[in-house]
Structures are given as C-alpha cells and as structure tokens.
C-alpha cells in the first residue's frame, strides 16, 4: 500500500517551454502533497505544500508564478515549471500524506522526475 | 549553519559489517525523526520513524535518538550489497528537514 507515482520519470525540454509533472497517490487519498527539488549530492529541498482544494503554500525563495501547483483532487497534484531555464534542471520529487498540512505524518514519496532543460 | 548536518560519505563497508550512520541537528524543537533510503534516481523510502529519545529496532535496522545531544543514529546489521544506497535523515517540528544524505557502499 501507500504507492505514489510520478509522470513523466524523465523529461528533456528546450529553454522557455513549460513542463507539467504529475503526482498521483494510487491506493490512498492524499490530503496533502509536498513538492521537493533535489540537486546532485544534495538534500531534498521543500518547494511547496499543497492541500487538496486549497492554494499551495510556497517556501521562501520559491517563485509561485514559475512553479505552478494544482491539487484539484485527493489523488492528483501537478507541478508546472513555466518558462523553464537550464538552472531549473533538477530532480523533482513529490510526496503524499493523509494528514492535512502536517509534515510530521508519514510521507510517501514518488519515484521522482528528472528534468533537463537545454 | 544548516539545521541538519549529515556526512555525505561515501561510506564503504564489507558485506556483513555493521553500517553506522548519524546526523546532528541544531533545532531543539525537532520532535519526529526519520531515516529514509534512496536508491539512485529514485524517490526516498521510509525506513524508520521515531518520536522522542531512545532506541527503535526493526529487523536489521536500529534507530537511536539522543535529544540531549541533538544526535541521531541508524545502524544496519549484517549489511548486504542491496543496502548500497544513500541514507537520508529527516526531522520535523512541523516541516520536514532533510540531511544531505550519506552514500553507503556495501562491497561483496
């Protein structure tokens, strides 16, 4: 149980284009989803917290107009990187929790999406 | 100073040895402590979840928390090549904070 999927697993795009990443909880309802970014050999950095039906809460330094998050259902959240640039190239990982807004509850992580912007 | 410090390694051990991993932290408000395993190009997988000081054992894994020293540890007994991965500590006082991860290599 508690499986989280992400799609696509890998994407390469040209600079200036937008990329959408999907995060789905397959066998449970995810009240809260989290989006992280991980650079090589570095820690996971929380980008935003998304509660179903509410606007996402972004961490300091994360541009909400650049990283659009939608959590319209209890099983799906999407992250759209708008006007992507090479510095946005990274490993994006989502996680899902059954508790609203709380990161202390167990988070189940997706397999990640490797974004490369040329 | 980072809130959570973790040696990135790599830590290389022979098969069958005990793997010892640790993290230190500065925020005394952290109450929940977790260890995740992350294989290359995959998402993290929760291994251990502890609350408050003390030991917790699950199979070959033992997690220790010493809140007075702000120090947590993970021990892996009878290590196997399949244990080769990056191990991330994480802790929370409302928001999950991760360490940088320690790369572990178990050699046959």
Q: What is the mean pLDDT of residues A9-36?
A: 94
HSE-CB for B83 with a 13 A CA cutoff: 27
Indicate whether B14 pLDDT > 80. Answer: yes
The predicted pLDDT at position B35 comes to 96
A44·B31 Cβ contact <8 A? no
* Residue in B45, B2, B6, B43 with CA at minimum distance from that of residue B22: B6
A contacts of B52 (beta carbons < 8 Å): none
Does the structure show a pLDDT above 90 at A117?
yes
pLDDT at position B41: 82
Provide the pLDDT for residue B93.
83
A 82-111 residues inside an 8 A Cβ radius of B: 91, 93, 95, 102-104, 106-111
Kindly determine whether residue B96 and residue A103, on different chains, have CB atoms separated by under 8 Å. yes
CA A29-A32-A38 angle, to 5 degrees, is 115
CA proximity to B65, closest of B101, B45, B89, B96: B89
Confidence grade of residue A1 (pLDDT, cut at 50, 70, 90): low
Closest by Cα among B89, B94, B93 to B75? B89
Over residues A57-114, the pLDDT tens digits come to 999 999 999 999 998 899 999 999 999 999 999 999 999 987 655 555 678 899 999 9
Is the pLDDT assigned to residue B8 strictly greater than 60?
A: yes
Q: How are beta strands A113-117 and A10-13 bridged, if at all?
A: parallel
pLDDT interval class at B76 (50, 70, 90): very high
**Phi, psi for B84 (deg, rounded to 5):** -65, 115
- pLDDT for res A54: 84
List, as ranges, residues 14-53 from B with C-beta within 8 Å of A: 31-32, 36, 41-46, 49
For A111, phi and psi rounded to 5 degrees? -80, -10
CA atoms within 13 A on the CB side of A9: 6
Residue A106: its pLDDT value, please?
Answer: 77
């Amino acid at each position: 149980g508690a499986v989280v999927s992400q799609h696509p697993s890998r994407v390469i795009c040209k600079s200036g284009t937008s990329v959408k990443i999907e995060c789905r909880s397959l066998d449970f309802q995810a009240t809260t989803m989290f989006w992280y970014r991980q650079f090589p050999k570095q820690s996971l950095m929380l980008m935003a917290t998304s509660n179903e039906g509410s606007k996402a809460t972004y961490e300091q330094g994360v541009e909400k107009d650049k990283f659009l998050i939608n959590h319209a259902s209890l099983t799906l959240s999407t992250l759209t990187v708008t006007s992507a640039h090479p510095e946005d190239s990274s490993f994006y990982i989502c996680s899902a929790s059954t508790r609203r807004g709380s990161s202390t509850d167990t988070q189940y992580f997706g397999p990640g999406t490797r974004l490369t912007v040329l | 100073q980072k809130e959570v410090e973790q040696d990135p390694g790599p830590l290389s051990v022979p098969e069958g040895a005990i793997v010892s991993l640790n993290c230190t932290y500065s925020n005394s408000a952290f109450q929940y402590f977790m260890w995740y395993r992350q294989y290359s190009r995959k998402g993290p997988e929760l291994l251990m979840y502890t609350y408050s000081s003390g030991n917790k054992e699950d199979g070959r894994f033992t997690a220790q928390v010493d809140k007075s020293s702000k120090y947590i540890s993970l021990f892996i007994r009878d290590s196997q090549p399949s244990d080769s991965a990056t191990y991330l500590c994480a802790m929370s006082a409302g928001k999950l904070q991760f360490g940088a991860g320690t790369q572990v290599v178990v050699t046959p």
